[in-house]
Structure 1
């Protein structure tokens, strides 16, 4: 029954609710200095993915997947890269299509179920060096993507993929979208829609894309119905959510995988806390700390100490 007890973690007293625990680490954290080496990987459909490597000469590689509208330079990614390098492991932070600072070539972009891109990154990494083991770390959307990838089962994964840790995962997409549509989460919704609009505006200069009345879109459900679903081969937003929600596939995961979702995460609905799945799958471990916010988990904000980084290293180290 890998439903883990509440960890010995609490947020600093001055980050006294889920919103502060989400916003301060995102907006005010000083990102660690990481000397990335960038590599551009061409995809089979003639697009590209930008990969940022931070190597220490290890036979173990950790592949990191960022969140919605994130990238490899976000403080939570760089903080995790530093922690992984300090543990003695190479790190590869890949950027989803259109997230590396340069528009991707195609009309399509990235989405919650694009496991073919993650698979391409993993297999490319193994082709560049015969790593003995590969771990996966994902945040938010990148966590959902990681879980969908792992749910293919060992028969479809490279045998080197041995463990994973994911944080703040909206594993039930419909529920998370409804949660973010609530009035108290309007500030997050506006920020996401603004960022997505900038990328769509660039694409509209190269492709047929109707952006009229975009300002009427107020929720992810409206955005996904109009753009994400049709641009990526889904019948509707509901079809997209049903197809790409990892919660329905957690029973298929066959390698040790840790999910840490804070109970006060403003992005997550009750369906994003898969207690029964953790009880039924001996490979799937669930932690639900009372605090942490969304991709926050600051233990000591001033000193840059984060539970997510400490816990990921602890869990992944169990492979040795």
Structure 2
């Protein structure tokens, strides 16, 4: 096995290895019960992001922090979010999720949204948390879009200003152009239709109200049929990119993986229907990265059978990583790499 690249320990239940079954199964799992408190974090440009904190929080202000970044049009109610936040809470972490702009309970204020390479808000949050909890080690975790964003963020953090103990990236679409094209073929088009519908439903009322500086009519918005079309017409012009191709090139984390020295666990399934085969084959990995690839798992699926019931292997693997990092927080957690479960 090539250094940095490992076979994941995930094994799907008999008869449930299909990529689409694995992708959809998490929606059928009973979610952990979580008590949440909400906070609006002001951003430097006058906008806000909504934080969801798991309660009760640890009493110790030095308890480690687990910060979760969701996927495209996700939220704290996404199935994976509940499982991952619960796993962190059970291991003594102060756990929270940052909603990207407009993904909380209310629309965001500024004439913009969020995208796969938008690292500024996450950077702002992590620096604010460092000031609020100066003695608390911090771990960040991203899922899908949030995973690509997180990998790009820590690659940009060359001087280690964020001082993260570690990072976890789950199903990161590190080649955004290739992933967008993958979603235009076969059954994957159903996922694209679902995501595109959610994006349009959020943008349509703001566009009709004249809140967005876009040369786009509501009727043309309705006719957009692919995510690439949407990124050409909405994402790119809203966020300073020339077009979708320019956005995909500048926002993809893949070309920057070689720069990552922060201990980072990347979890990927070879059969992820959102991504092309061999997504990581030609990418150079930084010394901090441990890439674990499973033959099966779908997109953010990884559902196993445990004690006679379906359960999230993903949450179990993340929990094992959090346990490992927590036992090494003193005296020098930065020297510890991700390890297998």
TM-score of the pair, normalised by structure 1:
0.93
CA RMSD in angstroms comes to 1.8
Q: Which has the higher contact order (CA 8 A, sep 6+)?
A: 1
Structure 1: gaps (5+ residues): none
Alpha-carbon separation, structure 2, partners of 1:267 and 1:306: 19
User: Mean Cα displacement is larger for which, 297-306 or 50-59?
Assistant: 297-306
Residue 256 of structure 2 is aligned to residue 285 of structure 1: no
Residue 247 of structure 2 is aligned to residue 240 of structure 1: yes
User: Mean Cα displacement is larger for which, 117-126 or 27-36?
Assistant: 27-36
Where do residues 87-106 of structure 1 align in structure 2 (5 Å cutoff)?
87-106=91-110
Alpha-carbon separation, structure 2, partners of 1:214 and 1:269: 27
Alpha-carbon separation, structure 2, partners of 1:118 and 1:107: 19
Say whether the 8 Å CA contact 1:138–1:144 is kept in structure 2: yes
Q: What's the CA shift for 1:88?
A: 1.4
Residue 311 of structure 2 is aligned to residue 309 of structure 1: no
Q: Deviation above 6 Å: which 4+ runs of structure 1?
A: none
Aligned to 1:261: 268
Aligned to 2:324: 318
Where do residues 1-320 of structure 1 align in structure 2 (5 Å cutoff)?
2-25=3-26, 27-54=27-54, 55-57=57-59, 59-159=63-163, 161-204=164-207, 205-208=209-212, 209=214, 210=216, 211-270=218-277, 272-274=279-281, 276-278=283-285, 281-300=286-305, 303=309, 305-319=311-325, 320=328
Query: Cα deviations across residues 209-253 of structure 1 (Å, max 9, x unaligned)?
Result: 422222332211111011100000001101100000000100111
Say whether the 8 Å CA contact 2:254–2:283 is kept in structure 1: no
Aligned length: 316
Q: What's the CA shift for 1:275?
A: 5.7
Say whether the 8 Å CA contact 2:224–2:230 is kept in structure 1: yes
Question: 3-state DSSP class of the match of 2:24?
Answer: helix
User: Mean Cα displacement is larger for which, 263-272 or 39-48?
Assistant: 263-272
Query: Cα deviations across residues 257-288 of structure 1 (Å, max 9, x unaligned)?
Result: 1111101100011353256423xx22111111
Alpha-carbon separation, structure 2, partners of 1:153 and 1:213: 39
Question: 3-state DSSP class of the match of 2:271?
Answer: coil
Structure 2: gaps (5+ residues): 329-341
Say whether the 8 Å CA contact 1:247–1:272 is kept in structure 2: no
Alpha-carbon separation, structure 2, partners of 1:194 and 1:246: 26
Question: 3-state DSSP class of the match of 1:286?
Answer: strand
